[in-house]
Amino acid sequence: MPENQTLTILGSTGSVGVNTLDVVARHPGRFTVAALTARNHVDLLFEQCRKFRPGMAATLEPRAAAELEHRLKQAGQHCTVLCGVEALEQAASLPEVDTVMAAIVGIAGLRPTLAAAWAGKKVLLANKESLVTAGPILTAAVRASGAILLPIDSEHNAIFQALPRGCPGGLGEVGVRRVLLTASGGPFRATPLHRLEHVTPDEACAHPNWVMGRKISVDSATMMNKGLEVIEAHWLFDASESQIEVVIHPESIVHSLVEYIDGSVIAQLGNPDMRTPIAFGLGYPERIAAGVEFLDLARVGALHFERPDLKRFPCLRLAYAALRAGGSAPTALNAANEIAVEKFLAGSLKFTRIPALIEAVLEELVVRPVRRLDDVLGVDREARACAERWLKSHQKGDNAGVHPQLAKSLGVRRT
């Protein structure tokens, strides 16, 4: 029996966190949960604390922490309850913790993910925004501390598995020509373009294959999720823009592929269930049971692939443009997208205006180097403020139309 691993799960009440605890529960005696964190979902966090009995729990919001502490005391359970970003960082860097599941959605997960990396943990990265916004900072922390960074997004996990020795120091060194990220195409892959103006948040969140949170579901519908994954792949695998391609695969059975210079293509396949990459990360370098249904290719019958339509999915084009621009551009892209998705889910921004807002922010902000965490957080604030200004100026009239076609390449200004 392998050594017991002690875990912190950042974002334990989200879909990845819930699935992580499902895998953990299947291996009694192998994993100990030291800390669980959430934003403010007290009911579920309380139940998780009752079942897995961590020594520490943390929430981002003080009222949620107070309620959780009260309920745990009433239940007679000892657990240190803290709140705030510093508490999340503490949970990620506890001395007794071996492995940290970084599953907080958005840039909110950046600081605790960095804390885990600087503490030399095995970091299971399900928070793609950490690499998108702070790629050079996070990768430098991993190198300096000796941490292990394992991708948990199904696409990057598939690439990791298809490479000869995990994450190389450059794809050319292991004979790789390119990596291909698969995308389902989301719920609107075949929807007539004129219908997209009228889609609702519930429709955008109804993913055909995966069960995910609402923010990432909207990102899948716009294919911004895949755009963020392109930027993430750049940092994970030291891949250039020309070495990263996206292919639509509606069945979500092939999770990604690696093409070698001799013409060989190695793919990782499996049913669309996040417990597979989660179990891979938890057990690495061994394999452990995930509880997923095994793949029956005869029942699947056929697999289909197509190139993405950038007129239908302009967010993917914007993400490639941000990768080319480098520096602070990916941070601004992510911040603008978070604001756009938030407003769409609140009903104050049309689905088709999401890329228009993002493009406007990217065109307005000057690209500058990102060397420290403060640089990232400053660009994030600036991009959010820019997005809010754009929203105020487009509240009437302009917000009613379909986004304009991207008639020119994204203009980028540099310092």
| Domain finish residue from 123, 152, 181 | 152
Q: Are residues 214 and 351 in the same domain?
A: yes
| Domain finish residue from 152, 172, 207 | 152
Domain-located, residue 162: no
Q: Is 84 helix (H, G, I), strand (E, B) or coil?
A: coil
Task: Give me the pLDDT at residue 169, please.
Answer: 57
What CATH number is given to the structural domain containing 320? Answer: 1.10.1740.10
Domain-located, residue 52: yes
List the structure tokens of 369. Answer: 């180097």
Using CA atoms, how far residue 83 sits from 18, 118, 361, in Å, is 20, 21, 32
Domain-located, residue 116: yes
Domain total in the chain: 2
Amino acid identity, position 300: V
Q: Are residues 350 and 402 in the same domain?
A: yes
Task: Give me the pLDDT at residue 288, please.
Answer: 97
CB within 8 Å of 170: residues ≥ 6 apart:
238
Cα 310 from Cα 402, distance rounded (Å): 15
Q: Is 266 helix (H, G, I), strand (E, B) or coil?
A: strand
Q: Do residues 129 and 219 touch, judged by C-beta distance below 8 A?
A: no
Domain-located, residue 331: yes
Q: Are residues 76 and 216 in the same domain?
A: no
Look up tokens 């049971």; give the residue. 289
Residue 182 phi, psi dihedral angles, 5° rounding: -90, 150
Boundaries of domain holding 125: 5-152
pLDDT by residue for the chain (415 residues), tens only, comes to 457 999 999 999 999 999 999 999 999 999 999 999 999 999 999 999 999 999 999 999 999 999 999 999 999 999 999 999 999 999 999 999 999 999 998 899 999 999 999 999 999 999 999 999 999 999 999 999 999 999 999 999 999 999 987 554 578 788 999 999 999 998 889 899 989 999 999 999 987 776 677 888 999 999 999 999 999 999 999 999 999 999 999 999 999 999 999 999 999 999 999 999 999 999 999 999 999 999 999 999 999 999 999 999 999 999 999 999 999 999 999 999 999 999 999 999 999 999 999 999 999 999 999 999 999 999 999 999 999 999 999 875 444 333 343 334 344 455 4
Q: Is 232 left (phi over 0), alpha (psi -120 to 50) or beta?
A: alpha
Domain-located, residue 216: yes
E strand map for 204-261: 244-248, 254-260
Cα 320 from Cα 27, distance rounded (Å): 40
List the structure tokens of 249. Answer: 């695969």
Domain-located, residue 30: yes
Task: Give me the pLDDT at residue 2, please.
Answer: 54
Residue 316 phi, psi dihedral angles, 5° rounding: -65, -40
Cα 232 from Cα 237, distance rounded (Å): 9
Domain-located, residue 203: yes
Q: Are residues 21 and 132 in the same domain?
A: yes
Domain-located, residue 233: no
